[in-house]
Chains A and B, each alone.
Chain A
Amino acid sequence: MKTRRDFIKISAAGAGAATLGLSSLSWKGVNSLYALNDQGPVSEEEMTAHSTYCEVCFWKCAGWTYVDKKGNIRKIIGNENDPHCNGRLCPRGTGGVGMYNDEDRLKTPLIRETVNGKQRFRKASWDEALDLVASKMAEVREKHGPEAFALFNHGAPGSHFKHLFHAYGSGNEGEPAWAQCRGPREVGFGATFGSWIGSPEPTDIRDTKCLVLIGSHIGENMHNGQVQEMSTAIDRGATIITVDPRLSTAASKSKYWLPIKPSTDIALLLSWIHVLIYENLYDKEYIEKYAMGFEQLKEHVKNMTPEWAYGITTLDPDLIRKTAREMAAASPSVIVHPGRHVVWYGDDSQRERAIAILNALLGSWGRRGGFYFKEAVKVPKFPQPEYPHHKWDWKDNLDGKYPLSAMGITTELLRASIPEFNYKHQIKSWIVAGTNLPLTIPDKELFQMAAQSVDFIAVVDTMPMDITAYADVVLPECTYLERYDYIRSAPHREPSIALRAPALKPKYETKPSWWIAKQLGERLGLSEYYNYEDIEEVLEWQLNKLGSSLDEMKKLGVKKFPRKSGGLYLQDGEDYEFNTSTGKIELYSLEFEDLGFDPMPKFTQHPQPEEGFYRLIYGRAPMHTFSRTSNNPNLWDLMDSNSVWVNPKVADIWDIKNGQKVWLQNQDGIVSTFPVKVRVTERIRWDSVYMVHGFGHTNKKLTRTYGHGASDSELITNVMIDPMMGGTGMRGNFVTFIKEKPIEEVES
């Protein structure tokens, strides 16, 4: 009998069970997180409900925050009318309460000071902290021009700081969302269909007959709407095909699992394309009407047979044929999913191109059960003067490199911060808002060099994330449950808007980002861009323009609008112009060719691990959003550390037992700061190991998660850059095990 009091229990080989849901936190530590002496549940009628949309991930599900009479946030429940969540938040959204309750939150502004040669933070007033940041911004503006101040950002806080930076005169902003995440798929699909995938993905999963996942682990990535729809698709008998070196949760629910050798996906994709074309299985009418370049593509994949792919991918040619035929049988109600975190091997835009081409051959773009045409509500812009022109931005520093980069490349902003790299334009100072760079950006050395080079760093966050350790000034933001933000308007089947309103006043001395940015703007003489008292005025104005009001939205939470852009799918025989240079789906990309890139994707070999090393693969757990939730008490309770997944054969060779702690060392000799527990499991290939990303925090102020698990980011020192868009391919790193605590080098 398995007992649920063992936190994780997995037998060394074969059958075994893991039990989640209980951890070893002692009762003493949790008093403040539990409504004491209040045994029973509180009914919803006795609480007040406040509209919000979730900020625990980018899916932005709308919901209701319930506050009891004593002023405790008791629960957060999804908004039934919200197309992003359909009334059901994911575990992170449900556990959002923990973000509010976390005693480790940043509480007051902090300023770095040096006392007797030692640096430390001291508490500061908001005025003092804001004055200091504003004076640094003014100084840079004067000495180097505002462009030399860069913004790293993510999510809702980012939007307020982008406005500040544009008003101030800097276009130097970067989000990990581009170069560390989904940039390549936007490039690949953009070149093919003339349209980005965007967020949320317009995948019509609920109506699909066949869903193909390539390294995309829906169910472990808890992108809510997709998880819900995948479940509906399972109910409706859809075929799921999963390509993954690991038996992911999705793979375990699939009719076909293709346990591919890592780094060979493009070969598989090309062979699927080969089968569709040479077995005459593709959607001829669709290709004839909407696509160009078919003959070139046919010629290109002529020799890329499943047998050819077998030698590369280790996948059975029959399985490759069979799965291609399954897709064709479901066409056009088939989705070859573009994935989300797709920066793997540096040829990622081309891999995404191959995925886009496959979808084109299956006729799935603009078809029911394939990809629908998304639409968003256009929220009117609050009146303000034009932003000033900036003299240069990150793009001017690239010298023609990465021509398809469409958003700031974080790693390039870091390089421009290091004088030794001799960039044409230098970055002098940063604001970092809502993104934990040390656990997000590969190549720790680059980050550290950059952080040491700049004159000044201000960090805006709710938690003492690892990045705060590098800050000169820390500005504590309140959580999303305590603030207004801009209206959510994200593309979907049905356009909608959602309101985030505070459920409670900000705890401690924390403040919302819109307020922090406005305060800085006013101190910098940019008041004309802040022509309002508070954000409610902006929201009211915008909502009135949309035929609603703050009052109405506080009651509704979500409001849907009729579509204006036409149907969700192509009509039979409809003439349709794609937003590419030819107006057609480009199987042969003229855009790529013009820029000197392969117009059709090719397979290239990538380095394989040397003996004794294993490819480091990383991914997500459903209860965490990377490093931002690992200290959240509710979610920490579900999963308090990552582990490294090791195949039993490998564990045998190394004589490593399940649950044993090891250090990981990568090909460049970098050793993980903390040890990590081994999970011996048949779910992973013998040439790879797997870790959930977002653990191994180094900031002791994160009292729960500090030192729990290892950080994959610090082991990623070999970065394979996508020459098309600057993405940082991170799957080319190999690790080995160290069983004894490594001796720390002492600096003399």
Chain B
Amino acid sequence: MRYAMAIDTKKCVGCGDCVVACQTENNVPIGFCRDWIVENVSGSYPNVEVELRSERCNHCDNSPCVRCCPTGASHIIEGGIVKVTHDECIGCGACIQSCPYDARYSHPEGYVDKCTFCDHRLAKGQTTACVAVCPTNCLYFGDLEDPNSDVSKALKNRSWKVLAPEAGTKPQLYFLT
């Protein structure tokens, strides 16, 4: 099993609903976030293009954040989800430094936190909070090894890119272009 997410940049409107839904679902304190929005503008008026996309941890196949963690708090679970065990985390921040996507933050209660792909919801057969809420339905989640999963189907029919492939982390967020 290999969990992944596809984000359709042709549909995302940058509304931030995925950010608020994650905050309320996961009790992320206000002022912090596990997912966020990026807006890219290119060209000059009137030949301008805008790309909007929702980003979060890439749950990299080759994850520097896990490798550099001195206590083993950062680890990988079933389906390739990268997690942090809060009780084992000493808050040293090595992982924050090592992540090319700036996907982690220091939680005010002293540990490092990040996207979990809502594994607590997956365990119950639900999808992630951001996918469930997105009003434009532009997020696709699932198991890459299952050809019938939403994410596999989305990737089959569309062109896509990943962010910072040069970092070699094998990221698992795919941006449909």
Contact = CB atoms under 8 A, between A and B. Distances in A.
Contact of B32 (A22, A219, A683): A22
Contact of B31 (A18, A27, A224, A230): A27
B45 A20 contact: no
Interface string A225-236: 001101110110
A235 B37 contact: no
Given A39-B27, A43-B120, A247-B48, A222 B135 contact: yes
B82 interface: no
A20 B135 contact: no
Contacts of B118: 41
A682 B17 contact: no
B145 interface: no
A635 B17 CA distance: 10
Nearest to A32: B30
A88 B29 contact: no
A252 B50 contact: yes
Nearest to B113: A39
Contacts of B38: 2, 4, 17-19
Size category of the B interface is 35 or more
A35 interface: yes
Interface in A73-128: 74-78, 87-91, 94-95, 97
Interface residues of A, number: 78
A1 B164 contact: yes
A1 B106 CA distance: 19
B66 interface: no
A686 B102 CA distance: 35
A26 B31 contact: yes
B30 A681 contact: no
Contacts of B25: 41, 75
A234 B36 CA distance: 23
A227 B52 CA distance: 15
B177 interface: no
B124 interface: yes
Nearest to A93: B17
B137 interface: yes
Interface string B129-152: 000111111100000000000000
B9 to A, nearest CB: 10
B50 A683 contact: yes
Nearest to A11: B41
A34 B48 CA distance: 40
Contact of A19 (B36, B44, B45): B36
A638 B31 contact: no
A683 B45 contact: yes
B30 A637 contact: yes
A682 B45 contact: yes
For B15, B42, B49, the residue with the greatest tally of chain A CB atoms inside 10 Å of its CB is B15
B135 A22 contact: no
Interface in B90-144: 100, 102, 108-109, 118, 120-121, 124, 132-138
Given A20-B14, A91-B15, A15 B30 contact: no
Given A16-B41, A41-B25, A231-B11, A88 B133 contact: yes
Contact of A15 (B15, B42, B120): B42
Contacts of A91: 15-17, 19-20
B31 A22 contact: yes
B50 A97 contact: no
B26 interface: yes
A40 B136 CA distance: 28
24 contacts: A4-B38, A20-B36, A22-B33, A24-B31, A30-B29, A30-B31, A33-B30, A40-B120, A74-B24, A75-B25, A76-B24, A77-B133, A94-B17, A94-B133, A97-B24, A219-B13, A232-B137, A247-B45, A249-B52, A637-B23, A682-B41, A682-B44, A682-B48, A683-B48
Interface of A: 1-5, 10, 13-27, 30, 33-35, 37-43, 74-78, 87-91, 94-95, 97, 219-220, 222, 224, 227-228, 230-232, 234-235, 247, 249, 252-253, 257, 259, 622-623, 633-635, 637-639, 647-648, 681-686
Interface of B: 10-11, 13-17, 19-21, 23-27, 29-33, 35-46, 48-50, 52, 55, 86, 100, 102, 108-109, 118, 120-121, 124, 132-138, 164
A-B pairs, top 10 by smallest CB distance, nearest first, are A21-B36, A622-B15, A219-B13, A231-B136, A252-B50, A91-B17, A75-B24, A25-B31, A259-B46, A18-B39
